[in-house]
Structure 1
Amino acid sequence: MKWTVDRYPPQPSRRDVLRGALAAGASAALGAGLVSCGSRSDVARTADAGPWRQFQGATLNLISENTAPTAAIAAHTKPFTDLTGIEVRIVTLELSALVQRVALDLASGRAQYQVIYADPYQVLAPYQRGLVDLRSLQADPNLPDLPGGVGDFIPVQMDAAGRFADPEPFYALPYDAPTMIWQYRRDLFEKYHDRMAGDLGFDPTPGGDRTWEEYFRIARWFNENAASDVRYGTGHQARQHDSLMNDFSNVLWSYGGTYFDNGREVGRLGTRDPGPCRLDSDAAIAGAEFYNRLLSIADPASKTWDWDGVGAAFRAGRLAMCPNWHEFAASNETALPGRVGYAVLPRGPVATANMYGGTGVGISGNTLPHERGAAWLFLVWATSPETQLANLRSEAGGGTPTRTSVYEMPEVRAAERRPSPMPNMLTAAAVRQAWQPDRIGLRPKIPMWNECNTAIFTQLSRMLSGAESPRETMRSIKSRVDRIVARGWVA
């Protein structure tokens, strides 16, 4: 389908983007002044070279978080250069550093980075007006279409990673899809299954029928009965960090708690005005009380770990189970071949929720017309079924596909069973369930989320240290978040 829109929409207001960069803490660097896009030259275009070779000789810069798909693409950019004649330089940073760098670049009026890893919460929501509405490029008859169209991307991921507020425009294409699932030592669950079932009075096999209360009892059983095989029943990414918000949110949502009213819609499409925070509800407080109790029996080092820390502890044989991002499967299968199982997270009294952490790739609104076309070629190639399949096979990294068609390929379906040449596909049955609209966990996609997130994990850390009760913590977070939202955001 071709959309009727301006081919190259106007750039965002320089003043608007500058405000966004200042909010990201970049005011000092911006003091040197802004440089006009008009003072630089566009890349050359050879009109008769064909859609894929028309910008040969150009150089693109991609800025990305240091993620598995980017590691795979960085190791295999030659096929893109051979196809297009375009060189790609990739800069990878920790997410908070990336956000600040992107804010500065958008404020500069230039496009040092033409292609941007647009985290939905820290880049897309606050800086949406600084990104290109990709419909304009999909509609350009001189540029290649997306293979399979937008509809080939998993719908909930297309909304969460690609859109903001309005369901029509899209500013990024789904690029990676890390999702939190239940990872467990399959060998230990098989060894102790009958004994656990007898002691606990239920089938302990991990899956969507298990509850968080049962998860707690399984973890405590391992603590008390399996010291010869494993030190702790569960571990968590509960450091004072973004990881703590992710880990807690799975429990919050399953207990019926929500950050804001209409939480699913605020997570899926996003909004600039989410209204009052709802973490002071009885359901949210009950979720916090359970999470605090769960952490009391978890590996004590959990309070020092982010996702990498808990992942390393699990691979080292220290934990019987943990919630973590599904893309850790590749390293799990190297360290513990054949001994790890994967399932959706437990359900709570109200629902089940599996935190989605996926991100899209977009194009800077500061790009010039031909530069923008070259960036579109890269987006089409990087998210194509062929490239996603190559990422799955890559020894350098590689996430899991964001396209329905890739999951339908016979070789990808076969890789869901051991022995698997694509170990991340061993999680496919779990993530397919986790990506269902009623199961996926979507944090609020609001421009001020980064500041809200910091308030959330800071107060949760106080709760886990015993400085505040769960009820006090939820009320403190609500108060802080309401103040942040009331200040608003212009970008």
Structure 2
Amino acid sequence: MVSPPPSPPFRPPAAAPSRRALLRGGAAAGAAGLLSACGGRRDAVVHADAGAWRRYAGTTLNFVSENTAPTAAIVAGLRPFTELTGIRVNIVTLELSALAQKVALDFASGNGEYDVVYADPYLVLAPYAPAFADLREFQEDPALPRLAGGFGDFVPSHLEAAGRFEDPGKVLALPYDCPTMVWQYRADLFAEHRDRMADDLGFDPMPSDDTTWEQYYAIAEWFNDRTDDVRYGTGHQAKQHDALMCDFSNLLWAWGGDYFDDGERVGRLGTTDPGPCRLRSDAAVAGAEFYERLLRIADPASRTWDWDGVGAGFRAGRFAMCPNWHEYAAANEAAMPGKVGYARLPKGPARSAGMYGGTGIAVSNIVPAQRRRAAWLFLTWATAPRTQRAGLASEAGGGTPTRTSVYGHPRVAAAEHRPSAMPNMLSSRAVRTTWRPENIGLRPKIPMWGECDTALYTEVSRMLAGDASPAAAMRSAADRIDRIVSRGWVG
């Protein structure tokens, strides 16, 4: 059964409570301040004579999550966990900015309302890292169930980007979902026109790891001018919104630009002090110049679309190709069965880069000790290989596996080819290529990223509207980001 279109884990960041306010509440002053606020809820009862999975039977956990497809599958398939453990789980799903505010207020109050938190790396994990338990404590506890395959079974880039902050030793979250931007294209139209396109363009237009962004531009222009099968060659998520930052970043990285020095480390492990913004660089400006040029020939509605909008435009047959989140494969297959192909995004002068948008689930350090241990049982089950395979095939939704071992399962491997009962797996090859260290695009994991994101997409939107040149837009964005970073996250 094909799942409905997912909502990848990005939304315009809401204004977070100020750091000063949180310091007054004890939720961002470091581990000591956080833990001093514990005790808002009663601890779980321990059944010492029970087996490891039944030790906390009768407990009710609260899990707050973004309203994502993986969580929809968890909600629909929660009964096996309750039967296994005797633990009930209340799941609250929210739009991401609302979730970030809820979590911030919970930490500030010290109530510990949420035992399990969907810890977006940028709006939740980086700002509130001390509020999350180091999961190694539970994995190494002989009285608790261990992760099948250990931490090493998670895709390495996921564990770093979604699971850690600054300290490479600590694991603060388990990779839970992993939307990634790839090239989605009308394979039927590319096959039909391949020979004519090759003759006209002077290269094979079929998407491959050798395709460049300049060739992508030429292909888009060809569809604009040489066929009536679609109105436009390409579409983009270029609304003044977080989606624009995601779409633009692919080009920024492809041209060798970045937000800060050592961008790979800042994206992978994160930092509270990223240094000066590097958007003024020649490489960043060159990437912005190409992006502006590309958007001039794209579907004009691109400037009104986020990821949902460009996904709907693609399924409606408005254009031949687009960069978008890989988990739209299920919706594509429902609307255009057998007609869509997937590839890694094209390469620029420096590399190919596809934005990674994954998030982990974490255990709150605000809740009492035994509740944290009960929450570990849920994390272990929710990210288990069997649960991830069930999510792939869920009628309610379901994401893409974050565990390496799942991809080796015969049923999952078979789903990479049509007919597929797990349509998101049709994009698996493109996605797994993008997850390689040389291809993955990681935005800065810093506590103040929400404000920086807004600054970036506001200035790029001005550029697309013709109100600023690429160089001026990059300078303005860098100036704004430097001011935000220099004052820290103080609200």
TM-score w.r.t. the length of structure 1 is 0.93
Over aligned residue pairs, what C-alpha RMSD do you find?
A: 2.0
> What secondary structure does 1:371 align onto?
helix
For 2:451 and 2:353, the matched residues in 1 are separated by 23
Name 1:7's counterpart in structure 2.
none
Name 1:427's counterpart in structure 2.
427
**In the TM superposition, what is the alpha-carbon distance from 1:66 to its structure 2 partner?**
1.1
For 1:84 and 1:321, the matched residues in 2 are separated by 46
> What secondary structure does 2:260 align onto?
coil
Identity score, percent: 65
Mapping of residues 455-474 of structure 1, within 5 Å: 455-474=455-474
For 1:349 and 1:309, the matched residues in 2 are separated by 29
Contact persistence 2:18–2:489 (CA under 8 A): no
Q: 1:39 to 1:472 in 2, by over 3 A?
A: closer
Contact persistence 2:61–2:89 (CA under 8 A): yes
**In the TM superposition, what is the alpha-carbon distance from 1:231 to its structure 2 partner?**
1.4
Contact persistence 1:184–1:340 (CA under 8 A): yes
**In the TM superposition, what is the alpha-carbon distance from 1:39 to its structure 2 partner?**
5.4
Mapping of residues 50-89 of structure 1, within 5 Å: 50-89=51-90
Name 2:372's counterpart in structure 1.
372
> What secondary structure does 1:233 align onto?
strand
**In the TM superposition, what is the alpha-carbon distance from 1:335 to its structure 2 partner?**
0.5
For 2:319 and 2:361, the matched residues in 1 are separated by 35
For 2:172 and 2:72, the matched residues in 1 are separated by 23
Are 1:108 and 2:100 an aligned pair?
A: no
| Number of equivalenced pairs | 469
1:438 alignment partner AA: E
For 2:105 and 2:419, the matched residues in 1 are separated by 46
Are 1:22 and 2:22 an aligned pair?
A: no
**In the TM superposition, what is the alpha-carbon distance from 1:189 to its structure 2 partner?**
0.5
1:76 alignment partner AA: G
Name 2:303's counterpart in structure 1.
303
Mapping of residues 184-333 of structure 1, within 5 Å: 184-227=185-228, 229-333=229-333
Contact persistence 1:222–1:232 (CA under 8 A): yes
For 2:23 and 2:195, the matched residues in 1 are separated by 61
Greater CA deviation, 340-349 or 40-49?
40-49
For 2:294 and 2:24, the matched residues in 1 are separated by 43
Contact persistence 1:257–1:284 (CA under 8 A): yes
> What secondary structure does 1:47 align onto?
coil
For 2:40 and 2:118, the matched residues in 1 are separated by 26
For 2:212 and 2:24, the matched residues in 1 are separated by 49
For 1:27 and 1:43, the matched residues in 2 are separated by 28
**In the TM superposition, what is the alpha-carbon distance from 1:490 to its structure 2 partner?**
7.5
TM-score w.r.t. the length of structure 2 is 0.93
Q: 1:57 to 1:253 in 2, by over 3 A?
A: same
Contact persistence 2:39–2:112 (CA under 8 A): no
Mapping of residues 116-195 of structure 1, within 5 Å: 116-195=117-196
**In the TM superposition, what is the alpha-carbon distance from 1:38 to its structure 2 partner?**
3.3
1:124 alignment partner AA: L
**In the TM superposition, what is the alpha-carbon distance from 1:27 to its structure 2 partner?**
11
> What secondary structure does 1:126 align onto?
coil
For residues 382-422 of structure 1, give each alpha carbon's deviation from its aligned partner in whole angstroms, at most 9, with x where no partner exists. 00000000001111111110001000111111111111111
For 1:161 and 1:39, the matched residues in 2 are separated by 28
**In the TM superposition, what is the alpha-carbon distance from 1:135 to its structure 2 partner?**
1.2
For 2:247 and 2:349, the matched residues in 1 are separated by 17
2:472 alignment partner AA: E
Contact persistence 1:24–1:103 (CA under 8 A): no
Contact persistence 1:24–1:99 (CA under 8 A): no
Name 2:9's counterpart in structure 1.
none
For 2:236 and 2:76, the matched residues in 1 are separated by 31
**In the TM superposition, what is the alpha-carbon distance from 1:145 to its structure 2 partner?**
0.5
**In the TM superposition, what is the alpha-carbon distance from 1:489 to its structure 2 partner?**
3.5
Contact persistence 1:184–1:321 (CA under 8 A): yes
Name 1:398's counterpart in structure 2.
398
Greater CA deviation, 207-216 or 342-351?
207-216
**In the TM superposition, what is the alpha-carbon distance from 1:25 to its structure 2 partner?**
9.1
> What secondary structure does 2:176 align onto?
strand
For 2:485 and 2:393, the matched residues in 1 are separated by 43
For 1:295 and 1:100, the matched residues in 2 are separated by 34
Q: Structure 1 regions of 5+ residues with no counterpart?
A: 1-18
Q: After the TM superposition, which parts of structure 1 deviate over 4 Å for at least 4 consecutive aligned residues?
A: 23-30
Name 2:47's counterpart in structure 1.
46
